[in-house]
Structure 1
Amino acid sequence: MVSHIKCNSASLRSTGEILNILGVDIKYGLSNAEASRRLEQIGPNEFKADPPDPLWLKYLKQFLEPMIGLLISSAFISVLMGQFDDAVSISAAIFIVVTVGFIQGYRSERAIESLKKLMPPKCNCLREGKVQSIPASTLVPGDVVYLSLGDRVPADLRIIESSDLRIDESNLTGENKPIAKHSNSLPSHISEVSLAKPLETSPSSLSLDSGDFPSSVVRRTDSFNSCSWVDGETVISFENAAAAAIIPPQRIEGAHRLTNIGFMGTLVRAGNAIGVVIATGEYSEFGEVFKMMQNEEAPRTPLQKSMDRLGKHLSMISGAIIFCIVVVGLIQGRNILELITVAVSLAVAAIPEGLPIVVTVTLAIGQMRMAARNAIIKKLPAVETLGCVNVICADKTGTMTKNEMTVTCIVTGGLERADVTGVGYDPTNGEVTLEHSDGPNSAITHPNLRRLVEIGSLCNNSSLKGGILYGQPTEGALLCLAAKMQIPDPRATNPRVKEWPFSSERKMMIVQVQTPRLSNPCTSSFFMKGAPDRVLPLCTYYRTACASPNDLGALITIGETERASILAEAARMASNGGLRVLAFAEGSRIEGDFVFAGLVGLLDPPRPDVESAVEICYRSGVRVIMITGDSKETACAIGSRLSLYRPGDICLSGEEVEKMSLHQLQSQIHCVTVFYRAGPRHKCKIVKALQKRGLVVAMTGDGVNDAIALKSADIGIAMGASGTDVCKEAADVVLLDDAFSSVLAAMEEGKALFANICNFIRFQLSTSIAALSLIALSTVLSLPNPLNAMQILYINILMDGPPAQSLGVEPPDADVVSQPPRHVHESILDKRLMKSVLISSFMIVAGTLFIFHREMAADGKVTPRDTTMTFTCFVLFDMFNALSCRSQKKSIFEIGFFSNRVFVLAVSLSLIGQLLVIYFPPLQSVFQTEPIYINDWLLLLTISSSVFMISEYRKSRLTLSKLFQLRKLFRFMRPSRTSVVSSKTIV
């Protein structure tokens, strides 16, 4: 029985072995009968997802949240006791919160569906000697598939034949550079070697499959006795030198690095090929990602955990209230049924049914704020989670860097150097400066530099229009360089006769032009670019430094010393700067004797805002880790440029992560700042190791390879401009501008939102506890009720209404934003918040009881005036308490009375409502109130403002304490006069 072949295994076998194992003739393909038999045995080329829960069941699962369960209990008890108004309001809160949670959960599951879209509906397959267009779902191992430009690979294929094949694997690897593919088997042993130690091999062992490439060129490259690459990616050597001639410089550290395999879902960007299917459906590389995504559960957010704990705490408080009141009542000899009725009523009132709605509204407001800062929040709880993040795992390409190749330095054959500034494909951004130059325009007019740049433009199939690239990034960088040097496109005056395109086998590109017309006299008609170790063997001469500004340097024969110097310079550029290095040459005949023109170093530059954003992250207690599929040299170079990779930091490869156990990785990961050659499984393992250390992890990504890690991270952040659909669906946040600084902005909003939620909880709990305590004390002390039922209902509306809601839209405070992330296990009801709540509650209860007792003292009876004064006092306490709850640490005089206009409007409406209740006759009869006078208002304002005054006093003490600590720190840092004198004496 024919079965699937693992990509690693298939890459090491020859095409003949693969065809024999799969039992297929490359010229005939499978018969229809055999294909049907295999399809029945193996199954279709599809992803089989577990049957999803029905929508009604998904909706019902939302009711399992602890806070929702508590609210359901409250609503049920309210119905039993006839409090239908409470039951309706609680039920409305439940419906809103459950519906929002259901919608967010439903949207998150669409990521798996998006993965299925990467499979093409049809493909060109050879069956019974005829190429047919068949459904991709019917492919089986052994099918021969034809690929051409623009095709999406329908299954994992072992390349059998190829012609200049380049496949875009960005949706799998995250790296946008198309990968050159070939049909040769990969060597079984690959090891990194130093640039300073070239590999010694027998020249005769090299065998280059050159196609139509001139045999003379092949012979010249064969005679070169070094097989190490210097191309800015990595430098490797092979046991089999023949393999070195045909395999690109990449280490086999994951299936996505195999250069003779075409992976399902990837896109053919150039060339064509014939491949044989080795794996289909869930057995493909994409299938592995699919299965991992299905098995990966998104963790509960810190806010959800905090709300769970709050629900449990409130349940315990409610139970304690019922127990205490029943015990005290029994001791007093009261009726047991009456006691239970009162106790349960108070317990229901203690539950803040408005809390879930306020949290949802606050998060929704934060969602809108973040959208204005280029961060789209897909799942509401993620808004607050951003404020808890203490580790960011950032993908390099497109997030940390611009994904725009840029020339940074030029070295001529005579080792004359020039630096290039600017980023991207806008030629007006930056300039070319010659080292030790005599003038600002010396590089522009330098003959050797101009000739090198002209060759780069001739060996080019891309174009730049208005700063927009059409073609390969490397070629776009060369065209931009020419524009910076004010060199017209030489292709317009030098018609191309023939091209030998760049391929993974040749590692070079040669073009032939008809009548060379360049800036200086030229007899060459052949121009070349490629890897330095491929170009240099074909060169016999190089040009010395220019003797005059108008003449090219003299031609000098290249000796072994000069070759070594050129290779050493290329190695320095590659290792120190992490650059991709290309060499250029020109010649009058294809057979050889080329003139070496020089080297160009290219880099995908970091985004300008990233370094400062990384520094801000470190200052605010957030660690940044860079994960990339690039080589170690490139990764460390970019990390150093961003001040991310510092002395003492560790850099780990995906292969090393693979070999470690989760416990080993967890113990070392605190020292690692850069991971290179990392695949999907490695990223997921890195995230889990960080989470095991109790950290809240944010993961950024743009490819399918990032989707698993995005889902397993506490907060997944996808790139909106360059990200795949799978990645965006799996993420919690989508960045519209792909900028790392937008992550920082979103984290600031997250911190501010949590502070607002805490402010609301502080207000609602203090008001709720005060109301409960007022009624409970009256019941326990056998006093008349200070408030009637309608007045209690009105207070309950205020407690959950406009003033409370307006606290959720408080503008972000700079001090809150600069604070380090809160701990994931930190409770919302921490000691500081509870202390503030209890102090405010005590002040409200004491002041309200004082007014009630003062008004009742005259005759000992409860009159409408007594309840009006008590009721108004409580409402005013509520307003002053809301004012003090706008900030936990800053005085209202610091943040400003009118900085939150919604709050001002909410308080104004509440006070107008209170005036109507007191002075509007129809409402007087409903609430049993009567008018009060100016002296009454002055008394009530004086008493009720005490809660605000106490809060302001507490905040001022905090401010003074901070200033005192800063003063002590300054005095500690400032050297004393004695120490200065003694230091002078020592000197």
Structure 2
Amino acid sequence: MVLNASIGFAQEYSAERTSESLQAMVPHRCRVLRGGEVTDLPAADLVPGDVVLLEAGDAVPADCRLVEAHDVTVNNAALTGESAPVGRSAQAVDAGPLLRARNCVFMGTDVISGSARAVTIATGTATEFGRIFKLAAAAPRQKTPLQHQVAAMARRVAGTALATGGLLFAVRLPAGQGLVPSFVFALGVMVALVPEGLPATLSVSLAIGVRRMARSHALVKKLLAVAAAKPEVDPAAHDTAGPRTTEHPFDAERMLMSTVTGTPARGYEVHVKGAPQAVLGRCSAIMTQGGSRPLDEAARKAVDVANDELASQGLCVLAVARRTASGPRPGRQEAESGLTFLGLAGMLDPPRPEVSAAVAACRRAGIRIIMLTGDHPLTAEAVARRVGIVRHPDPVVVSGTELGALDEPGLEALLARPGEHLLCRVSPLHRHRRPPRPRGLSSRSADGCAGARHRPGIGRAARPGARCRTTRA
């Protein structure tokens, strides 16, 4: 009893601390200029049009447009993942994605240095932080394999307890025992068969497993340091030889990421990886066995052919490139332009063994399957054919760009088209878009269209392993 209570208290306390830390990301009070006077207000009372005063150390209370800024830098890690502070100014910028606007600051971020005045443009769930919250809240919660195993075990224990209690009740009653005593006895046996310490046992087992992993050095801050140890790359030695000075994280719009490292011999270098089309479009040279040369049209076509060849084998293809940087922290525009193309890497992410059977079961049940994936169309088609989602020569292939341009009637018309559908290069926003029920389909078929991506084997989540194959353009 004492052990159960202690473990339960520790878990509840940890959950409360986590909740408090999340709530601390949203500021509670802010300074606002109203009627020519500075007023201290709760952040919840902000409305669009309010002028907010910001200083170093302040949490940004809403999405705001800077109208006056003095050496302002902010930490946008909560929104973009960028660990280094980024500069902000009050100067006008060209039209584009709001998160890239250097004259805007966003709720959930912190002012690192400087001071500013900013006009509130969005509050609450209308902010970029609120949009992420709504997407996260709308995401379906899927059980982990451990939860499935625990649920199956609980069903077995419950079934055994009920069967045993029923059998004892049936045996005692004809033997002359009273109805109530027999029922109470059977009920006591059923309760005794249920392990009261199961939650504590699971918690202790998980804790022991984590300690064993830690002793084997399996607990790492970045999981990618493990997808590096397999090909015998030492991340620690690499970081020591060329320490990273800045990073421009991956996002679904650019479809690439870049890092800057510094070495005494070569100075500062930018390394870029991402979707082949995105990286190739930012390259002006290509590295060959004879050295670097200009990236002409023939070389571009050769890279495209190599990319298609790898993708048609069901491989996820990444392009890599580099360039020399002028300093330790070049801007994103400088870092990701004028690159030298190095090559392509193809990674095999195989479907789980049970996927083909699950797809076949869906087909027998009359469920129409639509595949959503962030992969290249050729990669998606190869994987879809491997698991039986695509069986005919010409599936309907729609890119994420085309999907995003469709309104509701257009999406309905797309899903109503006969044939096998592959939606490729989709973003998280596309995945959360709920399609309407296509005309002419039964409710069972329509539900299959809307929910196929959550079934085992649909999309990237069904392919846990990874093997690498590389090729040079």
TM-score with structure 2 setting the length: 0.50
User: Quick check: which one's strand share is greater?
Assistant: 2
Higher Cα Rg: structure 1 or 2?
1
Greater helix proportion: 1
Indicate the structure whose relative CO is greater, using CA pairs within 8 Å and at least 6 residues apart.
Answer: 1
